[in-house]
């Protein structure tokens, strides 16, 4: 029986279906997450147990494949994995709630990016993966990506650098163990020099498991070819920022830069924090 509700005018409906998760298609490339670290089995089982106790409160979002009318998950691949776990381990009659929308693959991928950025904190590696797919698969240019990410071109340059690094370092960035600025420093090295610098820096992990710039910079500097000074000094950064400000008609972040410089000069801001915040401001 149709349900009547009092919610004013222009009330609409979504098509929400209860389907066998085994009959739904999943493309991991459309998760809008870094592809090297999908949800682990513990997370999937935890969500599955929640479904069994409390139900699935948030339906997946899917579009219909025009070729065969089957559903393709766009948002909620972890929810789908949890439903599959239930079907395979607890209740073969369990059904996944799916909201069906009308849009193409590109629109679905962009919606997944937006949902991830709003619902949960995304990482630089998530952004790097999404940037690469938007460019290579959908033909987006940098201004369009910058508008979606709400960032500046300098941030995209850092993402490009992250994609050149070994998966081990990318994973550290993804897990919050290594700041983007420090990963970019490591990109100045290659081969054995890179591995040795990383090992040296990792040997000085903090109590919370982070590898800080205080450990990375000396390790990189000691191995930079031809004695190149890779670590950027306060003077280097000041000159770089000054050049950026001169090229900008109305720099919106001059006060933030000024306060950051003053704090660093007074010793109120550590060198590691200074480096990280500079990268964030330029991004």
Q: What is the pLDDT of residues 261-279, one digit of tens each?
A: 766 666 677 766 777 776 6
Helices (DSSP H) in 23-123: which residue ranges?
41-54, 77-89, 105-119
Segment 79-99 mean pLDDT:
96
Distance CA 115, CA 109 (A): 10
Distance CA 58, CA 92 (A): 20
Average pLDDT over the chain reads: 83
Element (DSSP H or E) covering residue 277: helix 271-282
Element (DSSP H or E) covering residue 237: helix 234-246
Say what the pLDDT of residue 106 is.
94
Element (DSSP H or E) covering residue 136: helix 124-136
**209-253 pLDDT, tens per residue?**
999 988 998 888 887 753 444 444 455 555 555 555 555 444 556
Question: Is 124's pLDDT higher than 70?
Answer: yes
> Are the C-beta atoms of 95 and 19 separated by less than 8 Å?
yes
Segment 200-208 mean pLDDT:
92
Q: Which one-letter DSSP state was computed for residue 30?
A: G
Question: Is 105's pLDDT higher than 80?
Answer: yes
**157-192 pLDDT, tens per residue?**
999 999 999 999 999 999 999 999 999 999 988 888
Say what the pLDDT of residue 38 is.
76
Question: Is 103's pLDDT higher than 70?
Answer: yes
Please tell me the number of Cα atoms within 13 Å of 219 on its side-chain side: 26
Distance CA 49, CA 83 (A): 10
Say what the pLDDT of residue 66 is.
86
For residue 97, report the phi and psi dihedrals to the nearest 5 degrees.
Answer: -85, 125
Distance CA 159, CA 75 (A): 24
Segment 14-30 mean pLDDT:
89
């Amino acid at each position: 029986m149709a349900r009547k509700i009092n919610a004013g005018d222009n009330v609409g409906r979504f098509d929400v279906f209860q389907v066998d998760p085994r009959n739904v298609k999943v493309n991991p490339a459309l998760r809008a997450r870094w592809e090297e670290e999908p949800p682990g089995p513990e997370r999937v089982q935890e969500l599955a147990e929640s479904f069994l106790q409390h139900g699935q409160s948030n339906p997946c979002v899917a579009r219909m494949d025009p070729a065969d009318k089957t559903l393709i998950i766009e948002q909620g691949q972890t929810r789908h994995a949890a439903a599959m776990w239930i079907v395979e381990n607890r209740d073969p009659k369990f059904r996944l709630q799916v909201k069906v929308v009308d849009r193409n693959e590109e629109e679905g991928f962009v919606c997944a990016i937006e949902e991830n950025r709003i619902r949960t904190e995304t990482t630089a590696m998530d952004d790097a993966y999404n940037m690469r797919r938007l460019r290579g698969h959908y033909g987006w240019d940098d201004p369009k990506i910058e508008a979606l990410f709400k960032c500046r071109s300098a941030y995209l340059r850092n993402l490009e650098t992250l994609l050149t690094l070994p998966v081990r370092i990318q994973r550290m960035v993804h897990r919050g163990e290594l700041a983007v600025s420090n990963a970019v420093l490591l990109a100045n090295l290659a081969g054995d020099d890179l591995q040795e610098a990383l090992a040296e820096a990792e040997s000085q992990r903090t109590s919370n498991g982070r590898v800080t710039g205080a450990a990375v910079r000396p390790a990189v500097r000691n191995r930079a070819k031809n004695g190149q000074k890779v670590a950027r000094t306060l003077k280097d950064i000041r000159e770089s920022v000054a050049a950026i400000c001169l090229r900008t008609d109305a720099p919106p972040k001059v006060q933030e830069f000024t306060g950051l410089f003053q704090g660093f000069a007074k010793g109120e801001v550590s060198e590691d924090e200074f480096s990280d915040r500079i990268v964030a401001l330029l991004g």
